């Protein structure tokens, strides 16, 4: 689990990860995060609470069904669009605790920042190493995660790569009459001395 705003990561190595193991770990970690946030606020207006939940469902092709009674929305959980992440028991548990699950679209894992932090930790733990057992891999990855959390780096959408795209788009030259553009200005025909003489000595009738 990864919290982009703080850069903190939560990692637990296991030998197998069926839904029972994953969901149990998630519930424990999410409960700890909610407890650290403080006491749950009481909703003054149930209509406003439902409107806030439904706002985050806007545009979803298959939004999860919301229960009739909703607690205040306290967290957004973004994860992959897998069948195991949509089990009714888990989704109901999330809703009861004020957590809205949002699923990345198919072939859209790049929209999940957890994929980025996973690659970073994996490389730091395993590049140049030759583990001989699963326990070694687990220990190295968890140790790297602990070291990361001592000096975490917050993530945000955009960054240098997005800035380069903006500059590249800005260097394009739009052409009137359509959505076309050119990478460089269109060269205008140069005037010859004869053209300049005709232009300056033209007679208007």
Predicted TM-score (pTM) of the model is 0.70
User: How many Cα atoms sit within 13 Å of 72 on the Cβ side?
Assistant: 9
Confidence class for position 202, pLDDT limits 50, 70, 90: low
Q: What is the pLDDT of residues 66-101, one digit of tens each?
A: 888 888 999 999 888 888 888 989 999 999 999 998
> Does position 182 have pLDDT exceeding 90, yes or no?
no
Q: Using only C-alpha atoms, what is the Rg of the chain? A: 28
How far is 191 from 166, CA to CA, in rounded Å? 35
Average pLDDT of the chain to the nearest whole number: 83
In whole angstroms, how far apart are CA 93 and each of 24, 64, 89, 132, 140? 11, 12, 6, 39, 32
Report which of 2, 1, 5, 8 is spatially closest to residue 150, judged by C-alpha positions. Answer: 8
The pair of three-digit structure tokens given for residue 173, joined into one six-digit string: 């030259």
Mean pLDDT check: name the lowest of 96-105, 128-137, 168-177. 168-177
How far is 130 from 137, CA to CA, in rounded Å? 9
């Amino acid at each position: 689990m990864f919290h982009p705003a703080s850069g903190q990561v939560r990692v637990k190595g296991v030998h197998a990860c069926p839904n029972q193991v994953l969901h149990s770990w998630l519930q424990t970690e999410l409960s700890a995060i909610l407890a650290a946030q403080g006491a749950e606020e009481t909703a003054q207006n149930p209509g406003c609470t439902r409107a806030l939940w439904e706002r985050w469902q806007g545009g979803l092709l298959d939004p999860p069904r919301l229960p009739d009674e909703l607690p205040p929305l306290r967290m957004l959980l973004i994860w992959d669009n897998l069948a195991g992440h949509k089990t009714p028991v888990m989704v109901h548990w999330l809703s009861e605790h004020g957590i809205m699950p949002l699923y990345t679209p198919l072939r859209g894992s790049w929209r999940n920042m957890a994929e980025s932090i996973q690659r970073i930790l994996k490389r730091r733990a395993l590049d140049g190493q030759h583990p001989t057992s699963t326990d070694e891999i687990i220990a190295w990855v968890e140790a790297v995660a602990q070291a990361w959390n001592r000096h975490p780096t917050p993530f945000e959408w955009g960054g240098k790569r997005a800035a380069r795209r903006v500059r590249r788009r800005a260097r394009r030259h739009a052409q009137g009459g359509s959505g076309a553009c050119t990478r460089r200005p269109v060269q205008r025909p140069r005037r010859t001395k004869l053209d300049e003489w005709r232009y300056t000595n033209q007679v208007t009738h």
